[in-house]
Amino acid sequence: MTEPTMMQTVQTIVADLKDKKGALLPILHAVQNALGYVPPETVPTIAKELNLSRAEVHGVISFYHYFRDTAPGKHTIQVCRAESCLSLGGKELENHVKTKLGIDYHETTADGQFSLEPIYCLGNCACSPAIQIGKDVYGKVSTADFDELLKEKSA
């Protein structure tokens, strides 16, 4: 998205939501839903319109792990970190995923293909360990299964 279009999108969102009680979080959610992340260059506009400092807006963005300040990869991979998944091999899977992608949580691969995020329950406990890639949830995922999924998504 070009910068003028991005800023127009943010300005429209802010105009629509700024009069809501506690408007900052709804605005940040709407921006992230529209753009995939909250670009740092939008923070001054959001702050000005809400009569907040840029530090206050940035503080909220950096406090909540949900918000991203960099563009996500083409595919977002979420590894479940809930108790069921961890007890059935989730930690091993998590380590494998991080090593295979060469990134940690909240990072994106250099080629822009994959972002990695933790999630604290996919509601798939009977099929632990579980991951989600985009909107697709996978259960009983082994390291070999992950490698196959990665190959499919890379094609």
Residues 59 and 82 in one domain: no
Residue at which a domain ends, from 63, 86, 106: 63
Other Cβ atoms closer than 10 A to 93: 23
pLDDT computed for residue 60 by the predictor: 97
Task: Tell me the average pLDDT across 57-85.
Answer: 94
**Nearest-CA neighbor of 145 among 135, 130, 124?**
130
Residues 35 and 97 in one domain: no
Q: How many domains does the chain have?
A: 2
pLDDT class of 65 with cuts at 50, 70, 90: confident
pTM: 0.79
**d(Cα 128, Cα 87) in Å, to the nearest integer?**
8
What Cα–Cα distance (Å) separates residue 142 from each residue in 11, 30, 77, 90, 107? 45, 35, 15, 9, 22
Residues 17 and 39 in one domain: yes
pLDDT digits (tens, 9 = 90+) for 84-142: 999 999 999 999 999 999 999 989 999 999 999 999 999 999 999 999 999 999 999 99
Angle between helices 24-35 and 54-63 (to 10 degrees): 70
Residues 84 and 144 in one domain: yes
